[in-house]
Amino acid sequence: MRFTPALFAHTEAVLSELLRSPFPADLVVSRYFRQHRELGHADRGFVAETVYTVLRRKRSLSARCGDDVTSRRLLLAALACVQGLNRRELDVVLGEAEGKWLAQAKAVKLEELPPAVRYDLPDWLYEALAAQFDATELEPLAIALNQSAPLDLRVNLLKAERKDVLARMQADGLAAEACPYSPIGIRLVGKPALSKYPLFIDGRIEVQDEGSQLLGFLLQPKRGEMVADFCAGAGGKTLLLGALMRSQGRLYAFDVAEKRLAKLKPRLARSGLSNVHPVRIESENDIKIKRLAGKLDRVLVDAPCSGLGTLRRNPDLKWRQTPEAVAELTAKQGAILHAASGLVKKGGRLVYATCSLLDAENEAVVSDFLAKHPEFAALSAEEVLRKQDIEMACGERLCLLPHRHGTDGFFAAVMERR
């Protein structure tokens, strides 16, 4: 792929739209690509990676831009200072006066900037994380959050074994290796297009972050049980739970959004599962939920959250979330966890999880729940995983961090109804 003025113009157009749009970055980027089908795979990769670089590093790039922060300047600073394009490569798009400005932008010393600017975090989020992590942990965490996430896959146990899938992928020339923790996870180098890959089409593999896969092992559903994925979304974890159940028993996929559940249907068809029952609910207090009170063996609550553990994939979230939005979410999380707990029968298991880094959405919600529900007791996440031959020194709560574990940021607590 050759860097050209046309490619720069496409990148600038996407970035300008992203900085104005109230919609998530992935929707804006995919819509632009649908409107510009002339862009090839390599060009799309360059555009997407470059605009995501700006979103990740927007605060420090803005500091390099000085008083005049425009999408064009942010883009030039990202290409020169982060992606390492040299002056000769950039000359094809630089205006007459921009060369001098760009030299000044490159000369800015990041170590002299305030930590929140240096780490590319909004002040409120930097303060929240600084209160949770000491300096030796905060810096590598911030650096990791500003990297691109790898592409993780999950092997569908109904249709394949990991060793066979790995052998096939490597034979097909894909750089694939086993994930370090999930026994059914595969990590790819790069971002190959998989939508037309035979193993994806026939349902032997699904895209799913390794951290998300581990939530299924914490719930540990068995064949023949009654299980619920309480906030199923597009169903990534539902499909994992169904495979762990070997498609036996009954698995409810609850969600309030018809659109999200609709996305589950084609994935369900590929998976070969026959025990999944998608159910749209009005709220956590829907009568459909109340009819199942005390009847389920296991319930997973992957609660709606700020998503701040997924900043490697969704860097725009850190600029869109606010402390007020997080406060609203914590109230909602508590209400959902309370409602979901009513489904669990005596001796049954409840797992609460988020893809957030914030204690307010994680430990605080669980501690409040346990204080109000003495019929539930916490189990050790480390012990639950160890009994399935997954070694992870996490103690009572699962707390996954990108710089430590190479996954998205995840939190999970395992509880049992006494």
Pick from 67, 83, 113: which residue ends a domain? Answer: 113
Same domain as 250, residue 398 = yes
The token duo for 253 is 């996929």
Same domain as 92, residue 236 = no
Q: What is the CA radius of gyration of the chain?
A: 23
Q: What pLDDT shows up at residue 3?
A: 86
166 lies in a domain?
A: no
Same domain as 384, residue 237 = yes
Same domain as 235, residue 109 = no
Q: How confident is the model at residue 1 (pLDDT cuts 50, 70, 90)?
A: low
Distance (Å, rounded) from C-alpha 72 to C-alpha 54?
A: 11
Number of structural domains (the chain) is 2
Same domain as 407, residue 283 = yes
Same domain as 219, residue 101 = no
Pick from 113, 145, 161: which residue ends a domain? Answer: 113
| Per annotation, catalytic residue among 231, 355, 394, 399 | 355
89 lies in a domain?
A: yes
In degrees, rounded to 5, the angle at the alpha carbon of residue 302 between the alpha carbons of residues 300 and 124 is 150
Same domain as 217, residue 75 = no
Give the chain's mean pLDDT.
95
316 lies in a domain?
A: yes
Q: What CATH number does residue 293 fall under? A: 3.40.50.150
Distance (Å, rounded) from C-alpha 316 to C-alpha 37?
A: 24
Known catalytic membership, residue 394:
no
Q: How confident is the model at residue 147 (pLDDT cuts 50, 70, 90)?
A: very high
pLDDT, tens digit (0-9, with 9 covering 90-100), for 291-347: 999 999 999 999 999 999 999 999 999 999 999 999 999 999 999 999 999 999 999
Q: What pLDDT shows up at residue 242?
A: 97
Q: Which domain holds residue 321?
A: 210-417
Residues 109-140: b if buried by 16+ CB within 10 A, e if exposed: eeeeeeebbbbbbbeebbebbbeebeeeebee
377 lies in a domain?
A: yes
Please state the pTM of the whole predicted model.
0.94
35 lies in a domain?
A: yes
Q: What pLDDT shows up at residue 341?
A: 98
| Sheet with 205-207, edge to edge strand ranges | 176-178, 185-188, 151-155, 205-207
Going by C-alpha positions, the residue among 375, 366, 341, 382 that lies closest to residue 228 is 341
pLDDT, tens digit (0-9, with 9 covering 90-100), for 216-260: 999 999 999 999 999 998 899 999 999 999 999 999 999 999 999
